[in-house]
């Protein structure tokens, strides 16, 4: 029986927190004096990458109606804004593709799946989700930002984190859980990370618990850890 979605503003508050942290840190870092000898430079790069990933994870929650449950217009608005902030992704385009992934996971009809090795799969993944108009908008934004901020800051803290976050989402949220053969009693054709909530959060907002996500897609990312069973089958790490 499908779960009834009750009105709940916790997802809205968490979405606002992710967007605020991403935007606030970006504004700070675009003006920050970069020192390539300082470990802070690389720590900030990783942190901004993690927040970029959080934007897409928030949009993903919206695709399942759990960013603002009970408020469909607000939920869609959150999904649209966070998807746009992540390299100008278009939420109405992402939405049907993601649900197609859930309906046809790890088959020829799955837009996220590619029956091949890592790099061909990654390139196939990018082709599914990157459009020419996104590249145009990113190029325009890049050229606008460099008029006001140092070029190295724009590259390090606006452009590079978006690229790394795409890799992070693919590696932990698609490649690791769906690669290889899955047993016949695995209805979601998905593996899962070994139980370690700290690593699961930092690696990809608990989406390494991927079998659990497919099994309970009504759980937002910040509650997904509750579904983790220590003896879950097909653990990959």
Domain ranges of the chain: 10-220
Q: Is the predicted pLDDT of residue 2 greater than 50, yes or no?
A: no
The pLDDT value given to residue 6: 62
Q: By three-state DSSP, how is residue 34 classified?
A: coil
Please enumerate in sequence order all residues whose Cβ is within 8 A of that of 37, keeping only pairs 6 or more positions apart, or say none: none
pLDDT higher at 5 or 23: 23
The answer to whether the CB of 224 falls within 8 A of the CB of 66 is no
Tokens representing residue 11 in the block: 């997802």
The answer to whether the CB of 54 falls within 8 A of the CB of 205 is yes
Q: What is the pTM of this model?
A: 0.91
What size, in residues, is the chain?
Answer: 237
Q: Is the predicted pLDDT of residue 236 greater than 70, yes or no?
A: no
The tens digit of pLDDT for each residue in 173-215 reads: 999 999 877 777 788 888 899 999 999 999 999 999 999 999 9
The answer to whether the CB of 25 falls within 8 A of the CB of 185 is no
| Mean pLDDT of the region 4-14 | 79
168 phi and psi angles, rounded to 5 deg: -60, -45
Measured distance CA(81)–CA(79) in Å, rounded: 6
């Amino acid at each position: 029986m499908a779960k009834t979605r009750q009105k709940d503003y916790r997802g809205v508050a968490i979405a606002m927190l992710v967007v605020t942290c991403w935007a606030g840190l970006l504004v700070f870092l675009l003006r920050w004096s970069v020192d390539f000898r300082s470990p802070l430079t690389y720590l900030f790069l990783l942190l901004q990458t993690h927040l970029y990933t959080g934007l897409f994870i928030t949009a993903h929650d919206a695709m399942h109606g759990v960013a603002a449950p009970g408020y469909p217009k607000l939920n869609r608005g959150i999904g649209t804004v966070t998807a746009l902030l992540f390299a100008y992704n278009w939420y109405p385009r992402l939405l049907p593709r993601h649900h197609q992934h859930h309906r046809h996971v790890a088959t020829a009809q799955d837009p996220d799946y590619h029956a091949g090795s890592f790099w061909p799969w990654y390139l196939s993944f990018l082709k599914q989700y990157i459009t020419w108009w996104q590249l145009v908008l990113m190029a325009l934004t890049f050229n606008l930002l460099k008029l006001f901020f140092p070029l190295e800051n724009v590259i390090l803290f606006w452009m590079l984190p978006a690229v790394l976050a795409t890799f992070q989402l693919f590696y932990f949220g698609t490649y690791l859980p769906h690669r290889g053969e899955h047993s016949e009693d695995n209805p979601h054709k998905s593996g899962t990370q070994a139980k370690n909530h700290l690593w699961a959060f930092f690696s990809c907002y608990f989406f390494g618990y991927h079998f659990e996500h497919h099994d309970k897609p009504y759980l937002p990312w910040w509650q997904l850890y509750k579904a983790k069973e220590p003896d879950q089958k097909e653990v990959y790490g």
